Amino acid sequence: MINLFKIKGQKKEEAANSNGGPPVKKQSPGELRLHKDIAELNLPKTTKISFPNGKDDLMNFEATLRPDEGYYLGGSFTFTFQVSPSYPHEAPKVKCKTKVSTTALTPFIHHHKLTIANVVSFQVYHPNIDLEGNVCLNILREDWKPVLNINTIIYGLNLLFSQPNDEDPLNHEAA
């Protein structure tokens, strides 16, 4: 019975390619789900999505957040998303790639009585983002569930900038 489905699939693919065009690339279930998630994004005005490798590579994209309140007001922070073919059963890998902007962090620096010298060597001086750009967001690790989506992650990232969690820091110096 399984062979019948395989043969039927091959015939469908051959029929689709018979028009002389390039072979049709099969999408993994993860790609299909990600395509749906991206189509349904409901982003705040302060968040933008981009595809540095082009729209053909949905599995790798960037989200740029510009917090509109809190210590990080005025900053611009870019996160890379690497989505596995097993998405949504596996959470995307998310990293902050933004280099520090001392202008954006001035209120934060003054609040924690720091000097610019304490900050310039970090990517982002944030209690929930470490020096390598790793993000401490529970839904990216132990609390990930397949019902969560890209919109949920972006909402969580925005929340980290408006309400940093210094009780469970990844970067203890910034807490």
CATH of residue 136? 3.10.110.10
Q: Is 96 a catalytic residue?
A: no
> 67 and 162 in contact (C-beta within 8 Å)?
yes
Residue 88 belongs to a domain:
yes
The answer, yes or no, to whether residue 162 has pLDDT greater than 60, is yes
What percentage of the chain exceeds 90 in pLDDT?
52
124: which 2 tokens? 């982002």
Q: Which residues contact 16 (CB under 8 A, 6 or more apart)?
A: 24
Residue 19 belongs to a domain:
no
Residue 37 belongs to a domain:
yes
The answer, yes or no, to whether residue 68 has pLDDT greater than 60, is yes
- In this prediction, residues 61-79 reach a mean pLDDT of 92
> 51 and 61 in contact (C-beta within 8 Å)?
yes
Residue 22 belongs to a domain:
no
The answer, yes or no, to whether residue 30 has pLDDT greater than 60, is yes
The answer, yes or no, to whether residue 120 has pLDDT greater than 60, is no
Total domains in the fold of the chain: 1
Residue among 43, 136, 139, 148 flagged as catalytic:
136
Residue 161 belongs to a domain:
yes
> 85 and 28 in contact (C-beta within 8 Å)?
yes
Lowest pLDDT segment from 11-15, 28-32, 135-139, 153-157 = 11-15
Residue 66 belongs to a domain:
yes
The answer, yes or no, to whether residue 97 has pLDDT greater than 50, is yes
159: which 2 tokens? 């929340």
Q: What is the pLDDT of residue 93?
A: 98
The answer, yes or no, to whether residue 3 has pLDDT greater than 80, is no
Q: What is the pLDDT of residue 82?
A: 98
- State the residue range of the domain holding 52: 28-174
Residue 134 belongs to a domain:
yes
The answer, yes or no, to whether residue 164 has pLDDT greater than 70, is yes
Q: What is the pLDDT of residue 122?
A: 45
Q: By C-alpha distance, which of 144, 131, 132, 136 is closest to 168?
A: 136
